[in-house]
Amino acid sequence: MLSFWDMAYLTGLAPWDSGEPLRELVEMVKRGMIKPSKVLDIGCGTGSNVVFLASKGFETHGLDISRVALAKASKRAAAKGVKCFLHHLDFRDADKVSKLGDFDLAIDVGCYHSLPNGADRLRYINSLNKVLRKGGEYFLWCFVRGKSFSWGPPGVYENEIEQNYRERYDILESHRINTPFRDMLFTTCVR
């Protein structure tokens, strides 16, 4: 049986999937703010970011809960002639995730903010702690929780990232990004 995520990617009803790498990520690579390293894209979807980073010399690993999204990511990588390691995993399963090894950089564009409750978010952070090496960077894009939208991912509260990550991560930057759908928070951290 297909999951919600598989159906969204299969039917094209995945508005979060622009098919392009994130502007902030492209700019960071262009400016030399991040150098080729071993990267994990948590909830990589159809692979826009992992394929972009692989094309710039990064060792990229993408994981997603949707097999349909991963199949599309594999086709995208093949079309661009780059090698990406793609994993069908639920990031909340720390035991399975830890088998991927250590990463220098982890990025998340919409996985964390889609988790429905605090327990799932703490399991996510536990997995992150297992795979992001000490001194590794973590980039997180999340919708801000608000009353104006009654559908879509739950999002995060303004201070939630700081509260949940401050014990093991130094937050270097966090700022709002206005989007036509909902405002987002972009946060950069170091473990």
- What's the CATH fold of domain 37-190? Rossmann fold (3.40.50)
Annotated domain spans of the chain: 37-190
Residues above pLDDT 70, as percent of the chain: 94
Is 21's pLDDT higher than 80?
yes
Residue type, 43: G
Phi, psi of 112 (to 5 degrees): -55, -45
**For the chain, percent helix, then strand, then coil, each to nearest 5?**
35, 25, 40
- pLDDT tens for 122-174 read 999 999 999 999 999 999 998 888 766 556 677 888 788 898 898 899 999 99
Whether residue 180 is predicted with pLDDT greater than 60 in this model: the reply is yes
**Of 46-60, 90-104, 170-184, which gets the smallest average pLDDT?**
170-184
Q: Which long-range contacts (CB under 8 A, 24 or more apart) does 131-135 make?
A: 131/40, 131/97, 131/98, 131/100, 131/101, 131/102, 131/103, 131/106, 132/40, 132/102, 132/103, 132/106, 132/191, 133/102, 133/103, 133/104, 133/191, 134/191, 135/190, 135/191
- Whole-number Cα distances in Å, 138 to 4, 107, 143, 173: 27, 6, 17, 11
For residue 1, what pLDDT is reported?
61
pTM: 0.90
Q: What is the largest CA-CA distance in the chain?
A: 44
Return the pLDDT at 18: 80
